[in-house]
Structure 1
């Protein structure tokens, strides 16, 4: 009987002593010496870092702070609002919201983005997320990298230039190097690859949308064959992967609008350079046949005008 009572007492005491593991949801969060923002900062915690909490009652008098320890055993105080309890559900959504909030905030700096990028780059190893969750975070990693590249190329700064060269050397397949006055940018094939691999899944749809967004658009003006070639690389490529996707109607409408503009005056259709005309036309028409009938019905009349006036 005494033994049972001892066990019950132990179980009752442990939860009040050990607070479990917490996920840091804000990059470079200060670890203070005391529960006070004016206190000495022992170090900065990285985004996604897991810290342990000793939830000692006498130390938890201030609800705005929590006493935690990092992996090296360094203990201090951090703000409760930047922590997520790993025992609760919704960790993935919390991380995703935190990342999106930073991505679309004008106040997010380079250090914060790099902290997020480092966390997302480590996900393949830590096995916290699987399936669609992992894919969405993998996509976010490329978006974060793109934003980092933008910041590194703003203005002239030797430190930024050095960092840019470092990113280029470490991520040769993910970054298109600067050339002919164009800045370094994320390789859109990162998104297209995911879009092609996961055609029937929501992450694939989102990735293909980003493929359109990050694929540089050529300045075709009124050249119809330049337009056909351009769409095969962007919006039409999306339709081939996601004919019923979330962005299909929008992209299909944009293509239709451009067809209408380019063929409005049949006598002045700009056929551009004679080279590759027939090949581009036949390739586009063949690709169109692979789509649901509604697309062929929508675009066929404009292709007939192009064929008549240019071929």
Structure 2
């Protein structure tokens, strides 16, 4: 199903009319969970995850057979402000590494039984420096949303989106600051490893950018302060919702992109869970703003969809127990 929107207004309408969780399947999954051969609540959060997943997939006894990981890459004009420890050329070099199977996300996707797709988004044309002007115009952000929307395979039954883009922790921090307030210093972190002076510089950049681009909703913020890879992740998350595909959010940058959807349409992330809490300082604060409890906390800060991909097997295990376990009646076990 190719994208059916060509403006931000049309995309907002899609978010407003996105499908809801299947209440019948949700209730049936809850009933099934109560009949399985275990004490009530014995599998803890795995039970909640399986029921949630069943509700979105529209069946009380689902399976996860075709998870998809999609990595979007983009370059940021704000790197001219010296916000990263690495040059912008690294984005393209890492894309080649993904394509040749040499990155962490390749290994994690393979371990999770997930397909991996990589989309490089106009790497030779960075977005604008958002301390000076909007990072993208409306046509540019819509193009990136469309790229994300069209990247989701229709047969996918669990989605992880990730990113690569030198400078994108600064973009994510600016988005978080614009959407949720506080001080610029609350949202910036060391990203690729900047020193104390670099951290102070990032805070300055974020502060100046947010002051320049006040107002608007989450999509306006995404256009003004985001990058093509952030917009593409948002487009893919929205496409997954249209197909009732549950999504595992990755780290700080992915979560910032997702927050733009939530600040535009409050229930836009109901089909998502947080895969992990990264070591990037502001990620937990951003998850708290979105009321998302991470599945894992392993001090990761790589991006690439790595934390989300690692969490695929948590969802697979939850669904396998829910759908594969016998009920008390089936097993001939007395139900207390």
The TM tier, using the shorter chain, reads under 0.3
- Greater relative contact order structure (CA < 8 Å, 6+ sep): 2
Which one has a larger percent strand, Structure 1 or Structure 2? 1
Question: TM-score scaled to structure 2, two decimals?
Answer: 0.22
Question: TM-score scaled to structure 1, two decimals?
Answer: 0.24
